[in-house]
């Protein structure tokens, strides 16, 4: 039993409360007890520290994602357009005789590079206000330098925001207080975050990548299905981050050794996260916000050209549901491609490399099935998690 605030009696004997979504037990005067998730309108969050913390964390992540989405979309579209229009040499875009397309590709790469600082900076801004911007941007920049990817940027943003909040609570002289937000806080917090990202985060990630590469080489001589599942999971897990790059570079290295199956499995897995999330927003528009639907359209465009980062806005906003679903879809696509004997002669993925792929029908089938698995699984999870709230709202 929990105590509900702002409760009123209804004419039919039931009670209702005005608040946000939370879980609890309600007993009406007739003795009927209901357990579930309640969606209330107006009022305040329940006095539950855990729910309050989760609510705030989601708000901070969504703030960072909302600012990062235009950078992802811009970079993905420009790189995709330049790659698609550029002449091919050995199945790879060759910009040697296409300087204008190279320029477009460079602009897109710059947009992608800025995405991590922006994501981290505005997560910190959501937590600590303007003083959190500088350490957040610095931490996000170093996240790219140490190949920590978007997960490292999220960590940098959260650390920056909470560090600045801590510094704000320190007692200082009234003569120093005016320069705290514009000089002292940015300088101190940026120094701390920069050292943490370079000296604490960087080494473990580099070590992890070397261990992963060795493990993948061991799997390549054993069970092909297990290897395909591992590759698919790694490709999807951090969407362009260090784990993704470990699997990708392993596939590229196998091309040089004449084994095209590894890159074939990776190529099918690379595009399913953005394609699956984009398809999900088209299949069930009612469970996705307008901003998410727009990100889904951009994700479809990036997925078609093999840019896994198109799924990052969804994963950053709702990692506990999105990441398992995209991993499942990528694993499915990778296993189908491996079993079907798909070979990719170019170090890239998505439908854009179809001209240099062996067993093209199987390759397309792997991408389609993986995309559908991703879309259906995330929509089922979101629908299932939102159903109790809708049911209790109708009851109330």
Cα(114)–Cα(106) distance, rounded to whole angstroms?
12
If asked whether residues 22 and 62 sit together in one domain, one would say no
If asked whether residues 131 and 32 sit together in one domain, one would say no
If asked whether residues 16 and 104 sit together in one domain, one would say no
Contact criterion met (CB below 8 Å) for 216 and 161: no
At residue 164, the pLDDT reads 95
* Residue numbers of the domain that contains 79: 49-205
Q: If you search the block for the tokens 């922006």, which residue do you land on?
A: 118
At residue 23, the pLDDT reads 36
If asked whether residues 279 and 396 sit together in one domain, one would say yes
Number of domains in the chain: 3
Cα(113)–Cα(117) distance, rounded to whole angstroms?
8
Q: Residues of the chain whose pLDDT is less than 50?
A: 1-46
At residue 29, the pLDDT reads 34
At residue 389, the pLDDT reads 55
At residue 5, the pLDDT reads 44
- Its pTM stands at 0.62
Please name the residues in contact with 186: beta carbons below 8 A apart, sequence gap of 6 or more: 131, 133, 134, 135
Is residue 263 in a domain?
yes
Is residue 185 in a domain?
yes
If asked whether residues 291 and 357 sit together in one domain, one would say yes
């Amino acid at each position: 039993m929990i105590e509900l605030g702002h409760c009123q009696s209804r004419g039919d004997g039931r009670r209702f409360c005005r608040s946000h979504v939370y879980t609890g037990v309600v007993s009406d005067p007739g003795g009927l007890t209901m357990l579930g998730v309640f969606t209330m309108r107006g009022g305040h969050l329940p006095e539950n520290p855990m729910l309050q913390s989760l609510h705030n964390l989601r708000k901070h992540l969504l703030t960072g994602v909302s600012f990062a989405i235009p950078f992802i979309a811009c970079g993905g579209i420009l790189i995709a357009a330049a790659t698609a229009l550029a002449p091919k040499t050995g199945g790879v875009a060759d910009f040697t005789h296409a300087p204008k397309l190279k320029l477009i590709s460079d602009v897109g790469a710059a947009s992608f590079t800025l995405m991590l600082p922006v994501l981290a900076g505005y997560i910190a801004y959501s937590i600590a206000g303007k003083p959190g911007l500088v350490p957040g941007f610095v931490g996000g920049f170093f996240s790219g330098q140490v190949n920590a990817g978007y997960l490292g940027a999220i960590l940098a943003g959260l650390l920056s925001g909470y560090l600045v909040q801590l510094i704000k609570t320190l007692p200082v002289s009234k003569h120093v207080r005016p320069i705290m937000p514009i000089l002292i806080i940015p300088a101190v917090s940026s120094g701390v975050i920069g050292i943490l990202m370079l000296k604490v985060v960087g080494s473990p990630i580099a070590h992890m990548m070397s261990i992963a590469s060795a493990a993948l080489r061991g799997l390549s001589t054993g069970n092909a299905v297990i290897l395909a599942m591992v590759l698919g999971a790694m490709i999807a897990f951090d969407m362009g981050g260090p784990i993704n790059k470990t699997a990708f570079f392993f596939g590229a290295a196998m091309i040089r050794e004449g084994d095209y199956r590894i890159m074939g499995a990776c190529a099918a897995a690379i595009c399913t996260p953005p394609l699956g999330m984009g398809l999900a927003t088209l299949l069930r528009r009612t469970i996705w916000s307008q901003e998410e639907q727009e990100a889904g359209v951009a994700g479809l465009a990036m997925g078609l050209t093999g840019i896994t980062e198109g799924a990052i806005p969804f994963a950053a906003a709702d990692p506990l549901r999105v990441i398992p679903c995209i991993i499942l879809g990528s694993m499915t696509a990778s296993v189908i491609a491996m079993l079907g004997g798909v070979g990719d002669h170019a170090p890239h993925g998505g439908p854009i490399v179809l001209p240099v792929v062996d067993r093209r029908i199987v390759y397309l089938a792997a991408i389609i099935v993986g995309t559908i698995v991703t879309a259906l699984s995330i929509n089922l999870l979101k629908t299932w998690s939102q159903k109790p709230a809708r049911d209790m709202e109708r009851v109330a």
